[in-house]
């Protein structure tokens, strides 16, 4: 049992559902389970709920009134931060480094409904030219000029407080898996800012669990991404009083292979994965994150890269509101 001695707000009820996918398992000839973090939290939920419980607790403890974060146009992190900030009386400013679209669809529409202040600064960027840390530093400076003093949340909630949410999730999952006889297996997750993967790496390590995380990079967004993820996992272990050094080469990240042309550009494989899960199990994925990650899992199974008979656990991190911004690609 791990103790996580940091302040935490409540945004959801745990544990999130965990169950087998019988028809999909028959279809691919492997035992596949799903952990439903897509159904937790406010305003249509997702993995950022777990991160924000720790991040916003820290913000409130530090006396913050305004919160700033940033992301892609269909950022689920932005939408969930809007909902959570509203719930706790914080003023939220969202930065997007693209032109304001003529129509607000999907998550952008929800941000608007949730009362977030949205700033569109069409500077371009992205595409893997900078590290996540450098990008965050630059946005922080810009936000300081435009918004004044605030509590800053890096893209995707990529901070050690946020990753604590996935240490707690690792513990929850280990217990749920054990209850159905799973001690060993693979846990597949989409990696955008990498904080969910970092939290799971730290959590499974600290618990001595034999569940092995695999992150599927969905966007080719960051320079030196494995180093960034390793650093975050190390920070988490240090803050929990059990220092450990993950090196970049220890990070189980499949970089680039399933990202297609890049972040937020759907892939054929990803769209096929969305249809397959929808039509075997009645569960929806999204084209930006979970569809690509699920496609990666299916392909790796076919190539024999996810062991032989061990169970596979897909961590569904949410993102379904993004579907509604991709009607052309999916219809």
Ligand X SMILES: Cc1ncc(COP(=O)(O)O)c(C=O)c1O
In the complex with ligand X, the residue whose CB is nearer, 194 or 296, is 194
Under 8 Å CB-to-CB from 61, ≥6 apart: which residues? 7
Nearer CB in complex with ligand X: 85/197: 197
DSSP states of 129-162 as a string? SS-HHHHHHHHHHHHHHHH-S-EEE-GGG-SHHH
Smallest separation (angstroms) from ligand X to the CB of 282 = 19
- What sign does the CA torsion over 184, 200, 298, 225 have? negative
User: 16, 25, 75, 136: which one is catalytic?
Assistant: 75
**Residue closer to ligand X, measured from CB, 311 or 322:** 322
At closest approach, how far in Å is the CB of 133 from ligand X? 14
Identify whether 136 is a catalytic site residue.
no
**Contacts to ligand X by CB under 6 A:** 46-47, 76-77, 156, 190-197, 286, 289-290, 317-319
* Residue nearest ligand X (C-beta atom): 192
286 three-class SS: coil
What is the chain's alpha carbon radius of gyration, rounded to the nearest angstrom?
18
For residues 135 and 290, which CB has a smaller minimum distance to ligand X in the complex? 290
The answer to whether 271 and 291 have CB atoms below 8 angstroms apart is yes
Backbone angles phi, psi at 243, to 5 degrees: -55, 140
* Residue 304 Cβ vs ligand X, minimum distance, rounded to whole Å: 25
How far is Cα 17 from Cα 35, in angstroms, rounded to an integer? 6
Least distance CB 35 / ligand X (angstroms): 12
The residues that are catalytic are 75
């Amino acid at each position: 049992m791990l103790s996580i001695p940091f302040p935490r707000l409540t945004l959801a009820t745990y544990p999130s559902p965990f169950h087998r996918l019988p028809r999909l398992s028959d279809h691919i000839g492997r035992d596949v389970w799903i952990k439903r973090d897509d159904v937790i939290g406010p305003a249509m939920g997702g993995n950022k709920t777990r991160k924000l419980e720790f991040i916003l607790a820290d913000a409130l403890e530090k006396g913050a009134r305004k919160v700033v974060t940033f992301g892609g146009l269909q950022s689920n992190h932005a939408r969930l931060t809007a909902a959570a900030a509203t719930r706790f009386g914080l003023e939220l400013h969202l930065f997007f480094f693209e032109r304001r679209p003529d129509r607000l669809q999907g998550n952008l529409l929800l941000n608007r409904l949730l009362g977030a202040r949205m700033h569109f600064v069409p500077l371009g960027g992205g595409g893997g030219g900078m590290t996540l840390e450098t990008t965050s530093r630059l946005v922080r400076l810009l936000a300081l000029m435009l918004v004044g003093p605030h509590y800053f949340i890096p893209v995707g909630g990529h901070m050690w407080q946020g990753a604590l949410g996935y240490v707690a999730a690792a513990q929850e999952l280990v217990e749920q898996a054990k209850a159905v006889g799973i001690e060993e297996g693979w846990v597949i997750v989409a990696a955008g800012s990498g904080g969910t993967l970092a939290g799971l790496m730290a959590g499974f390590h600290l618990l001595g669990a034999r569940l092995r995380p695999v992150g599927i990079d969905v966007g080719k967004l960051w320079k030196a991404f494995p180093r960034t993820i390793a650093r975050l996992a190390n920070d988490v272990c240090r803050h929990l009083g059990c220092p450990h050094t993950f090196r970049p080469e220890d990070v189980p990240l499949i970089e680039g292979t399933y990202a297609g042309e890049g972040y937020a550009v759907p892939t054929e494989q990803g769209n096929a994965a969305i249809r397959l899960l929808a039509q075997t199990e009645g569960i929806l994925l999204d084209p930006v994150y979970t569809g690509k990650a699920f496609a990666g899992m299916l392909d790796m199974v076919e190539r024999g890269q996810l062991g032989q008979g061990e169970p596979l656990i897909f961590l569904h991190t949410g993102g379904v509101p993004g579907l509604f911004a991709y009607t052309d690609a999916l219809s």
